[in-house]
Amino acid sequence: MAFDRIEFFRICMDIEKYLGYLRANELALEYYDTLNREPIPMAELYQEHFVSLRDWKTPCPDEKFSITAQFGPRVWVPFDATQSELDTIDEQVRTNLTTAYENGIGWADGMALDMNETCQQFSHPDTASMAKSVRDMMTNVVEELELGAKDAWTDIGKYVGMWRGEAATAFFNFHTNYNDALSLFAHMGVQLGAGFAGATAVIHGTQETAMKFVESVREALEGMLWLWTEVGLQQPPEPSLDIDVGKILKIADGVWSLLQLIPPVAAATKGVNTAVQGIKTVNSIVQAAGGGGEVDIHPEPYAFTDWTANGLYTKIFDVLYEEIYQKYVEAMDDLHVGGGPANPEDADAVPFSSKAVEQHMLELQGPRNEWELEPVSPGNLNGGDNKVPYGDL
Amino acid sequence: MQSPLERMYHAAKVDIPAEAAYLQRITNNLRGYLSDFDVASAEAGEPAVMTSMLHVGGDMLAVLRRAVTSLDNAADAVLITANDYRDTDDRARQDYQDLDQSLKSSPVPDHPTQSLPEPEKPGAELPAPPPGGPYPPGPIPTEPPRMDPNEDPPDPEDQREERGDGSENQPEVPEIDRPEWEDD
């Protein structure tokens, strides 16, 4: 399924919201514990009083995650406290618990935006449409170029060889090199397809990894909040669950094993079979991104040891930044500089890298310029001093 | 048996334009895909693997576009040459008169192609950001805010420090006041 960045952002918003609820629970509990830990001011004059929380619950915007307290906290009150004083202090404690809770609600505000920013470089591209462009380029550019290169496009070639002069020479050179140029571009088109396909597959795999990750974080947070509602205003047990995180570099390895099948650019192998094999390989690299099956994200359990809001916040960003964003950058860089084993003895066997493709083009554009076709101008091909008579044609 | 003049006319008006049309189609297709990848590259923060491929693709497109122009020019050149023979040689003039009327009167078509200058450079136009600033109003946005993908994401360490831990504003412990009980 294609990555839906709006859905991704919604899940980040849920995580932000849930983490706020979690922090709110923690702060309410912290305040509750503070009251209980308060030392008696003067033992002979004070007595303990248990605040009633019977009608109190945390004002969670999401009703189902509101929590109640089984026992009210203990406060110290003067032995002669009146009922009205006790009522007042009960009311204050309830208000303060609510305040402590509400301080936490907004704690994670802006987190979804930060998560989105961490993922911005891979969450925006539409990999399904990239995959389609790659496949269409193989069909409508590379295959077409291969076909055209086989055809003679005019039967006046014989005359072109006879005419002399500047215009005739340019035409002759253009005509002579035309098929080779088309073959070269078919070959380079396969390389282009390989580069774009590799990038598409890495972005797609990264998107899937990020989506699975935030989904499982949201699920874990929901589970945490449920635990809080079950135990009341006290520290719930830690959930015993693993959060799986995909391995971007292993996804990239899968791309690499296919890129190995792309003929090295320096070999500049011509012929239909090379392009056909290349096209097939390029198409299989973008298969998952194009909707043809699931990508294996190689999920591995990631140790979440600190289940507090702060601990979870830290881990969420560690995973997004170090395990996903930075690995994405690394995998993309590998596609550029080449991640496969290079054989220095055989330049033709250098495995795919977009840098090598670019350098090969720059070499072709060098002094001998095997890249450009000589331009033809619309002039008389039989001009100049040595005109070929009509009868000789 | 075709006369040389007929061969030339056929090349100028049928064969070469057909080849130009074929290459024009490929060229404009390529331009379309490169333009898609140009946008995708901008969205992906211009990774080197994409920009280098766009460099190669852009240069390939430039050569193909010039080749289409050359084919159009070649058709013109062959026609000019044929007409020169017709105007200077009696047998060529005779061959011209034997040509199909349609071959004589049909135009030599042009095959325009679209440019895509320097797709490897940043600056592809991205879809507009949602209205109302980077942070959308309402609890559930319909569109996530658009960040600038050319900027690296912030280090989470800094964000963590900015956020604090939320316990800075815990309320006081309430008391019932008995000033007269203060210690001496």
| Predicted confidence (pLDDT) per residue in A82-122, tens digit | 999 999 999 999 999 999 999 999 899 989 999 999 999 99
- Write down the pTM of the prediction: 0.90
Q: What is the DSSP string of A7-59?
A: HHHHHHHHHHHHHHHHHHHHHHHHHHHHHHHPPPS-TTTEEEEEPP-TT-B--
Chain A residue numbers with beta carbons less than 8 Å from the beta carbon of B49 are: 195, 198-199, 332-333, 335-336, 354
pLDDT of residue B137: 47
Domain layout of chain A by residue ranges: 5-105, 111-375
A235 neighbors A26 (Cβ within 8 angstroms): no
Q: Which of B 46-85 lie inside 8 A of A, CB atoms?
A: 47-50, 52-53, 55-57, 59-60, 63-64, 66-67, 69-74, 76-78, 80-81, 84-85
CA distance B103 to chain A (A): 16
Helices (H) and strands (E) in chain A, counts: 13, 4
- Total residues belonging to chain B: 184
Interface touch B154/A103, C-beta < 8 Å: no
Burial track A270-300 (b if 16+ CB lie within 10 A, e otherwise): beeebbeebbebbbebbbbbbeeeebebbbe
Percent of chain A past pLDDT 90, that is, above it, reads 69
Chain B residue numbers with beta carbons less than 8 Å from the beta carbon of A192 are: 53, 56-57, 60
| Predicted confidence (pLDDT) per residue in A212-262, tens digit | 999 999 999 999 999 999 999 999 988 777 788 999 999 999 999 888 888
Burial class (CB in 10 A: 0-12, 13-18, 19+), A38: middle
Domain layout of chain B by residue ranges: 1-106
ipTM of the complex: 0.89
CA distance B104 to chain A (A): 18
Give the chain B residue nearest A10 (alpha carbons). Answer: B140
A297 neighbors A254 (Cβ within 8 angstroms): no
Closest CA to A195 of A332, A33, A306: A332
Q: Which of A 158-177 lie inside 8 A of B, CB atoms?
A: 159, 163, 167, 171, 174-175
Closest CA to B148 of B131, B121, B120, B129: B129
DSSP state of A156: -
CA distance B124 to chain A (A): 13
Instruction: Mark out the alpha helices in B45-165 (DSSP H runs).
Output: 48-88, 90-97, 101-105, 156-163
DSSP state of A393: -
The Cα–Cα gap between A22 and A225 comes to 7
Q: Which of A 208-227 lie inside 8 A of B, CB atoms?
A: none
Please identify which residue in the block is written with the tokens 């033809």: A376
- A362 close to B (CB below 8 A): no
The Cα–Cα gap between A287 and A40 comes to 71
